Amino acid sequence: MAVRDLTKTFESRSGTVTALDRVSLTVPRGEIHGIVGRSGAGKSTLIRCLTGLERPTSGEVVVAGEDITVLRGDQLRAARRRFGVVYQHANLLDSRTAADNVALPLEIAGWEKARIDARVTELLDLVGLSDRARNHPGQLSGGQQQRVGIARALAADPEILLCDEPTSALDAATTGSILGLLRELRDRLGITVVIITHEPSVVREVCDAVTLLGDGAVIEQGRLGALISDPSNRLHRELIPLVEPAADGLTRLQVALGHPDATVGTIDGILALLRREGIESDVAAATVETIAGRRVGRLLVELADPSQVASAHKVLDGANLHPEVAA
Ligand SMILES: Nc1ncnc2c1ncn2[C@@H]1O[C@H](COP(=O)(O)OP(=O)(O)OP(=O)(O)O)[C@@H](O)[C@H]1O
C-alpha cells in the first residue's frame, strides 16, 4: 500500500485547517507499520482517507496498484473490502454470539450459510477463540472481545488490516496478547498491518516501520531499528524514557546506547573509557532494552568531579556516544 502526497484540509469558521499535509508512506506487503502522533496530529483523518470514508483534498492512496481516492460507488465499495478495520472498542452486537458477530460482514456480503460457517470456524480458531463461539459479548473479556473484532475484520480476507488504537482500552497484559496475535496473523497470513496508536509500547513491541505525524505532516519515518538507535530522533526519546534522578544540582552527562556509529556499546565499556582518561564516574540512571532486534538505550553518567564535564563530553563525543549535559 502506498500513500502519496496526501493532503486534507477542512474549512471551519476560524479558517482552513490542514489535517494532513502532503503525507507519503509506503507499506510493503506483510509489514507492520505504526502511525504515531499526539492528539490532533491527523491520525484519524489519515485512517478515514485510507478507508475511503473521507475524500482527500489531494494525493493518492494506492492499493494493489489502484488509486482508491478517485473511485466512486460500487468500485469504491469493492476497494474498501481490501481493508479490514479493527477499532479501539470491538463494538460487538450483544444480541449475537461471538460466531454470529464474525459472520455479520459475510452475511452482508451475501455468502451462503455453509460457507459462512466454515469461514467463521476457521477465523475463531485463528484468533484462539474456538471454545467461545457460542458466547455472547457480555460473557467475554475485553481482550476476547477484541479478538472477535479482529476475526470480524479478517472475515472477507482483506489485504490490509487497519488497526485504530486497537489496545488503548486494554490493560498491559491483554495489550501484549493482542499485539502477539497481530504479529502472528502477519506471519501466518502475510497480511499488511497498519496500526494507528499513541502508545509507545505498541510501536516498541510490534512495528517494523513507523511514521511520526505532527500537525498533519510527517516528522519522522523509517525502519524502527534505524529510527530508535539515533538519539537525535524524537522517537528515540519517546520510546526510551529515562528515569530522571532527583534534581540535586549534580553534573551528569546523558549518552545514547546502541547507535550504529558508537565505538563502545556497553555501560561498563563507557565507564572504563572515561576511567582510562582519568575521569571517575558512576551510573545515575539507565534504560536498556531490545527494540526491533537492537539493544538500545540511554545512560546518565554522574561525574565524581564536576570540573571534568568538558573533558568527559569530549571523550564520549569521540566515541560517537552523542553526549548531552543533563544537570
Ligand atoms: N471534520 C473536521 N472539520 C474540521 N477540522 C477537523 C475535522 N476533522 C479533523 N479536523 C482537524 O484536523 C486535525 C487532525 O485531527 P485528527 O482527528 O485527524 O487527529 P488525531 O491525530 O486523530 O487526534 P486524536 O488522537 O485526538 O483523535 C485537528 O486539528 C482537527 O481539529
CATH code of the domain covering residue 155: 3.40.50.300
Helix axes 142-154, 98-108, angle to 10 degrees: 20
Residues 253 and 215 in one domain: no
Q: Are 140 and 81 in contact (CB under 8 A)?
A: no
DSSP H helices in the chain: 43-50, 73-80, 98-108, 113-126, 142-154, 172-189, 200-206, 224-228, 234-239, 267-276, 309-318
For the chain, the average pLDDT equals: 93
pLDDT on residue 243: 66
Domain boundary among 167, 191, 224: 224
**Distance, CA of 261 to CA of 294 (rounded, Å):** 13
Instruction: Say if 39 falls within a structural domain.
Output: yes
233 Cβ closer than 6 Å to some ligand 1 atom: no
Q: Span 82-99, mean pLDDT?
A: 95
Residues 305 and 166 in one domain: no
45 Cβ closer than 6 Å to some ligand 1 atom: yes
Q: What is the pTM of this model?
A: 0.89
Residues 6 and 150 in one domain: yes
> What is the interface pTM, i.e. ipTM, of the complex?
0.95
Residues 150 and 250 in one domain: no
Q: Span 83-101, mean pLDDT?
A: 96
Residues 96 and 130 in one domain: yes
Domain boundary among 203, 224, 245: 224
Domain boundary among 189, 224, 259: 224
Strand partners, 192: 160
Distance 38 CA to ligand 1 centre (A): 11
Residues 165 and 24 in one domain: yes
112-166: pLDDT as tens digits: 999 999 999 999 999 999 999 999 999 999 999 999 999 999 999 999 999 999 9
Residues 189 and 217 in one domain: yes
**Distance, CA of 205 to CA of 184 (rounded, Å):** 13
**Distance, CA of 115 to CA of 133 (rounded, Å):** 16
How many other C-beta atoms are found inside a 10 Å radius of the C-beta of residue 173? 8
**Whole-number percent of the chain with pLDDT over 70:** 98
Cα distance between the two ends of the chain: 46
36-88: pLDDT as tens digits: 999 899 999 999 999 888 999 999 999 988 999 999 999 988 898 899 999 99
What is the domain count for the chain? 2
pLDDT band at residue 246 using 50, 70 and 90 as cut-offs: low
Residues 54 and 190 in one domain: yes
211 Cβ closer than 6 Å to some ligand 1 atom: no
List CB contacts of 282: < 8 A, sequence separation 6 or more. 271, 301, 302, 304
Q: Span 300-307, mean pLDDT?
A: 90
Residues 101 and 145 in one domain: yes
Nearest CA to ligand 1 atom 1: 10
